[in-house]
Structure 1
């Protein structure tokens, strides 16, 4: 009888592996994609802050946009707006390798405009 039970268990590990391995692959893929999104978000934060600092120093708008684009993920959209005493830089990017997903990563930074020396003269 012990021989019969052992015979029925043959292939059970193979069946479990056939179910578990795809789940593990999907889980690992989701982790990698999650890390890509987090990395893109961090780059957008850095780009928005860099652009806001440059705009607060009253750098030319083209230079502000260029500095922010260098720090942002590739293909990111950078918007610079000057408001009363403040500058607002918005960076919007699509995370890499996630073209099929319908979301973008967005970050915004605001800085007070610094007064330049001799501006009132």
Structure 2
């Protein structure tokens, strides 16, 4: 009797997988978009940190500010804003970039700054 009973219950559950998929698919897509945006933000942050490090090292060994900005923008991207400050025995490079949030809309600003001592013998 249980075999007959099981056969009668099958048609009532028909289409439930489709309904569940229709409900869960937008949530899965939203989570995927959030993960991709978070990855883009992380990559931009690492690029800014690398650019600040490279720029500070270049400034510490005596390269001009224009060369330092060009080097840092080459690492962080052409849209990055690079500022160089020299304060006696130290140089500081700050790199700021904006990351588009894709379908979420808007921009997020990421930045990094690094200070390095000026190398001895550098004017």
TM-score higher than 0.5: yes
Shorter-chain TM range is 0.7 to 0.9
SS in 1 for 2:41: helix
TM-score w.r.t. length of structure 1 = 0.87
**TM-score, normalised on structure 2?**
0.86
Report how many aligned residue pairs link the two structures.
Answer: 117
Question: What are the superposed Cα offsets for residues 53-97 of structure 1, whole Å, 9 maximum, x if unpaired?
Answer: 0110111111111111111133000000011311010000012x4
Maintained 8 Å contact 1:40/1:73:
no
| CA drift at 1:101 | 2.9
2:76: which partner in 1?
Answer: 72
Gaps of 5+ in 1: none
Q: SS of the residue aligned with 1:104?
A: strand
Structure number with higher helix proportion: 2
Q: Which residue of 2 aligns with 1:33?
A: 37
Higher strand share: 2
Question: RMSD in angstroms over aligned alpha carbons?
Answer: 1.7
The question of whether the paired residues in 1 share the 8 Å contact of 2:98 and 2:107 is answered with no
Query: What is the aligned partner in structure 2 of residue 13 from structure 1?
Result: 17
Cα deviation, 1:25-46, whole Å, max 9, x if unaligned, reads 1111111111111111111011
Counterparts of residues 91-102 of structure 1 (less than 5 Å): 91-95=95-99, 97-98=100-101, 100-102=105-107
> 2:113 — aligned with what?
108
**Within-5 A mapping of 1:34-49:** 34-49=38-53
Distance in structure 2 (CA, Å) of the matches to 1:13 and 1:98: 32
